[in-house]
């Protein structure tokens, strides 16, 4: 009985004194035998026979494609996702993976994108859940986000997972996930096996530059109504009750302020102090703001540490550096400040578009061999064979069933991974 599982045979190719007749291999027949790699060749995939009891199927081996945009808070992940979805990959839909933004309410404090700011791109798991007595756990996120990805892919669209909560990201992507293990504590290991065919885009900003920007962003959020939003949210009966959205940075810091200056006692207590305000109240307000800025920078540093842990475990992170763009945003010179968009497009958006396009085009790759001594220019024709154009695909390019159709039509089976 044929097995549906893929088996491999290890050999040194080509064997000595073997005549090479295949046109592809004749290109390298003049190379010395010692320059060929000891490689693993995949045997041809076979469909399981009717009535086979094998639990391993082609569908189980194929994984849906997922673009994952990660990075510390404030690094521009949402901007990049919208740039990709609106300008280059219009079939994209965003899945939020920020653990505070999954909750309803406190839109300014949690820095949610407004409907207008989403530019018509569908967003999922953004402000959809209430937090009344318990947290929205990584296990729950794994289940709900997994169903969301399947739904997006089934309609022929590309899912973009966007957010900075690495515990949610690991819970969703890990093939084997134990909710009792904290893989970022150092005592447990990060899963190397993933449920999806993932492309990781890491939007990075040098930490000193990022902290300066985050402090400015807090000031901008306060100008946009964050303080007034938190004054309406304050509930003295829930002081010290840290569940769900009450864990958001800004809530505990201003709770201490509102405990001393309840917003219902005086109207001015619910407004930002000015120069003529009570000095003690103004100092309490400024202390809360300093704590928010410090805690936001600490969060960014922790998130970077977790991302490095994921990379150290073997996750293939493709980093794009947005530091120059953020320096331009923070510049005092007006001409340099206006240059940030050009820097963003040149150093972040354009490289990301190229990386995503290559990821989506190289759907049908399998392990094969090439002589070790070949340079990239000698192998350029191979990559063209791998990258099947979407219009000739004949199926959903992000769903495993579509790739099986492509395999049946001959796109898979002779591909090469460089």
Contacts of residues 342-347 at CB distance under 8 Å and 24 or more positions apart, as own/partner, are: 344/76, 344/79, 347/320, 347/321, 347/322
**Which helix H or strand E contains 96, and what residues bound it?**
strand 92-96
* pLDDT tens profile 337-385: 778 989 999 999 999 999 999 999 875 443 222 233 333 333 322 222 2
Query: What is the per-residue pLDDT across 317-327, written as a single tens digit (0 to 9) for each?
Result: 999 999 999 99
Q: Which helix (H) or strand (E) holds 93?
A: strand 92-96
Mean pLDDT score of the chain, rounded to an integer? 78
Average of per-residue pLDDT across 214-234: 96
Report whether pLDDT(82) > 80: yes
Q: What is the mean pLDDT of residues 240-244?
A: 85
Instruction: Give the containing element (helix H, strand E) for 161.
Output: strand 158-162
Q: What is the pLDDT of residue 61?
A: 57
pLDDT in tens, 157-196: 999 999 999 999 999 999 999 999 889 987 778 989 999 9
pTM above 0.85, yes or no: no
**Which of 27-31, 174-178, 399-403 has maximum average pLDDT?**
174-178
Q: CB–CB of 303/166 below 8 Å?
A: yes
Looking at the DSSP bridge assignments, the partners of residue 70 are: 202
């Amino acid at each position: 009985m044929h097995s549906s599982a893929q088996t491999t045979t290890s050999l040194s190719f080509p064997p000595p004194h073997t005549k090479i007749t295949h046109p592809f291999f004749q290109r390298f027949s003049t190379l010395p035998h010692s320059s060929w790699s000891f490689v693993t060749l995949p045997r041809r995939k076979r469909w399981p026979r009717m009535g086979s009891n094998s639990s391993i199927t082609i569908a189980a081996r194929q994984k849906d494609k997922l673009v994952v945009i990660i990075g510390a808070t404030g690094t521009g992940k949402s901007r990049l996702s919208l740039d990709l979805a609106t300008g280059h990959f219009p079939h994209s839909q965003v899945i939020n993976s920020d653990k505070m933004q999954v909750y309803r309410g406190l839109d300014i404090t949690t820095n949610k994108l407004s409907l207008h700011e989403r530019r018509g791109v569908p967003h999922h798991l953004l402000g959809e859940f209430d937090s009344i007595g318990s947290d929205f756990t990584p296990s729950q996120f794994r289940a709900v986000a997994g169903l969301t990805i399947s739904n997006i892919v089934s309609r022929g669209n590309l899912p973009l997972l966007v957010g900075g909560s690495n515990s949610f990201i690991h819970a969703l992507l890990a093939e084997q996930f134990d909710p009792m293990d904290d893989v970022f504590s150092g005592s447990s290991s990060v899963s190397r096996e993933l449920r999806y065919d993932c492309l990781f885009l890491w939007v990075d900003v040098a930490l000193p530059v990022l902290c300066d920007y985050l402090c400015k962003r807090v000031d901008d959020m306060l100008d946009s109504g964050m303080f007034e939003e938190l004054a309406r949210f304050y509930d003295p009966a829930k002081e010290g009750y840290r569940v769900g959205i009450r864990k958001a940075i800004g809530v505990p810091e201003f709770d201490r302020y509102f405990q001393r200056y309840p917003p219902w006692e005086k109207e001015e207590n619910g407004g930002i102090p000015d120069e003529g305000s009570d000095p003690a109240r103004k100092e309490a307000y400024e202390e809360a703001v300093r704590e928010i800025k410090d805690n936001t920078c600490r969060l960014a540093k922790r998130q970077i540490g977790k991302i490095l842990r994921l990379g150290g475990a073997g996750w293939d992170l493709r980093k794009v550096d947005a530091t120059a763009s953020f320096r331009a945003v923070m510049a005092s010179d007006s001409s340099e400040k206006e240059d940030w968009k050009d820097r963003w497009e040149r150093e972040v958006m354009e490289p990301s578009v190229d990386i995503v396009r290559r990821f989506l085009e190289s759907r049908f790759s399998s392990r094969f061999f090439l002589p070790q001594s070949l340079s990239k220019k000698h192998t350029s024709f191979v990559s063209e064979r791998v990258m099947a154009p979407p219009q000739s695909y004949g199926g959903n390019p992000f769903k495993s069933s579509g790739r099986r159709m492509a395999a049946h039509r001959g796109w898979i089976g002779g591909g090469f991974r460089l």
